[in-house]
Amino acid sequence: MRAVRLMEWKSDPVLVEVDDPVPGPGQVVVRIGGAGACHSDLHLMREFEAGLVPWNPPFTLGHENAGWVHALGADVSGVELGQPVAVYGPWGCGACPRCLLGMENYCEDVAHAPVPGGGGGLGMDGGMADLMLVPSPRLLVPLPDGLDPVDAAPLTDAGLTPYHAVRRSWPKLVPGSVAVVIGVGGLGHLAVQILKATTAARVVAVDTRAEPLALAANEGADLTVEPDASAVAVIRETTGGRGADVVLDFVGSESTIALGAAVSRFLGDVTVVGIAGGTFPFNFFALPYEVSLQTTYWGSRPELVELLELAARGLVRPTVTTFPLEEAVHAYHLMEAGSALGRQVIVPSARG
C-alpha cells in the first residue's frame, strides 16, 4: 500500500510503498477515508529532534483519521467489517484511572501504552496511507448516520481539541459572556462553531489573515479582529471594558499569549492550545485576579462521541479541502505558506 512517511526529523515526509498491515490478536485495520493535515505535523517535521519526545521516525503521518473497518485480528468484538469509524487519536495504556474514564490523552501509565505519549501518526504509523493498524477496537468510535470519513477525520483532533477546551470552560460561557478565539485555522474555525453550537457566548475571532476572518464571520463570529496594535482596545470595548471570559489561543506564540492575557476578565480562563512555544512572565500582577492560565492536550473519547453527534446533527461542519494521497506533502506546504483555509484532508480511498 501507499503511505506518507516521515523518515527522519527535520525533513519533508515522502510517499512510499510499504507492506499492508496485518492485524494481530485484538487489533483492527482501518481503510482510511480521510486523514487531516494538522499544523502539529509541521512542528513535527520542522522543529522536533531526537530526545524531545520518547519516539522517533520513521513512521507514517496522520493523527486525525476516519474510514471503514477493513480487517479484524483474532478475538476482536464490537466492530464489524465495513463499518464506518473514527479513530480516537491519543493511545494510552487503556487501564489506568484516566484511561478508564476515556481520557487516554492524559494516560498516567504511558510505559504500557502502544507508544509513550503518542499514537498513530505520532511515533506509530498513522492514517496518511491506504490502511492503518489500530491496536484495539476501544480506539474506534462508530460514525453516526449522516457523517462521512472526510468530515469525521478532522473532528478527531481539529474538532476534539477545541471541543475539550470549550467544554471545560462551559460554566463561564453564560449569556452575556465573551469568548475570544485566536487563530482561525483547522482548530480555530471549529472552535468558533463549537462555541456557537454549545454556548450563549458572543465570539470574537482573531487572525492575521482576511480569509479565516471571513470564514469565522460566516460561521457566526460576532466580531473579527486582526492582532494589530488596537486589538486589545477593540476587544475590551466589545466586552464593555470588562474583558473576555474565555480566551482560546490556537497559536501559542509570545504575542498571542500576551494578547489573551491582556483581554482576559477577572475569574476568566486563558487556554493555550497552540504550540508555537511562546512564554508568559507570571507574577501576582500579570493577570486579572483569578484568571486561570492553562494548556490543554487533545480530548477524551466520550467528548469525541459528543462532538460526532453534534456534527451528525449539522451543528458543527468542518470546512474541508480534499487532496489525494499523492498531494499530501503539497497540502502541508500550502499550510506552511499560510494558504490553507479550514482543514485540509487527505483522501486515500473514497469507499470502504
Shortest distance (Å) from residue 212 CB to ligand NAD: 4
183 contacts ligand NAD (rule: CB under 6 A): yes
Q: Is 335 in the site for Zn ion (CB under 5 A)?
A: no
Q: Which does 227 bind (CB under 5 to 8 A by kind): Zn ion, ligand NAD, none?
A: ligand NAD
Min dist. Cβ of residue 98 to Zn ion (A) = 6
Q: How far is the CB of 325 from Zn ion (least distance, A)?
A: 18
Q: Does 109 bind Zn ion (CB under 5 A)?
A: yes
Q: Which stretch binds Zn ion (CB under 5 A): 5-13, 107-115, 247-255, 266-274?
A: 107-115
DSSP element (H, E) containing 345: strand 343-346
Q: How many CA atoms within 13 Å lie on the side-chain side of 100?
A: 3
> Site for Zn ion (CB under 5 A): which residue of 13, 57, 92, 188?
92
Partner whose footprint covers residue 92, from ligand NAD, Zn ion, none (CB < 5 to 8 Å by kind): Zn ion
**Bond before 58 cis per omega within 30 degrees:** yes
Out of 4, 6, 29, 99, the only residue in the binding site for Zn ion (CB under 5 A) is 99
Q: Classify burial at 178, counting beta carbons within 10 Å of its beta carbon; exposed 0-12, middle 13-18, buried 19 or more.
A: buried
Cβ(280)–Cβ(291) under 8 Å? Answer: no
Provide the minimum distance between the beta carbon of 161 and Zn ion in the complex, in angstroms, as a whole number: 7
Residues 209-268 interacting with ligand NAD (rule: CB under 6 A):
209, 212, 227, 250-253, 255-256
User: DSSP 3-state assignment of 209?
Assistant: coil
DSSP classification of residue 122: B
Cβ closest to ligand NAD, residue 39 vs residue 196 = 39
How far is 44 from 48, CA to CA, in rounded Å?
A: 5
Q: Is 154 helix (H, G, I), strand (E, B) or coil?
A: helix
Nearest partner of 12 among 46, 39, 37, judged by Cα: 46
Alpha-carbon gap, residue 238 to 217, rounded angstroms: 16
The residues in 43-62 that bind ligand NAD, with binding defined as CB under 6 A, are 43
Query: Residue 11 or residue 339: which is nearer to ligand NAD going by CB?
Result: 339
* Contact status: 346 vs Zn ion (CB under 5 A): no
Q: Nearer to Zn ion by C-beta: 153 or 179?
A: 153
Q: Which of 273, 316, 329, 345 binds ligand NAD (CB under 6 A)?
A: 273
Minimal distance, residue 40 CB to Zn ion, in Å: 4
Grid coordinates belonging to 195: 462555541
**DSSP states of 259-324 as a string?**
HHHHTEEEEEEEEE---S-------TTSSSTT-EEEE--S--HHHHHHHHHHHHTTS----EEEE-
How far CA 341 is from CA of 187, 258, 275, 287, 336, in Å, comes to 11, 25, 19, 32, 12
323 touching ligand NAD, by CB under 6 A: no
Residue 125-164 contact track with ligand NAD, rule CB under 6 A, x = bound: --------------------------------xx--x---
- Closest alpha carbon to 25 in 133, 182, 124: 133
Among 207, 219, 245, 303, binds ligand NAD (CB under 6 A): 207
Site string for Zn ion, 18-57 (x = CB under 5 A): --------------------x-x-----------------
Phi and psi angles of residue 268, each rounded to the nearest 5 degrees, phi first: -85, 180
Q: Which stretch binds ligand NAD (CB under 6 A): 5-13, 70-78, 114-122, 200-208?
A: 200-208
Chain contacts with Zn ion (rule: CB under 5 A): 38, 40, 92-93, 96, 99, 107, 109, 157
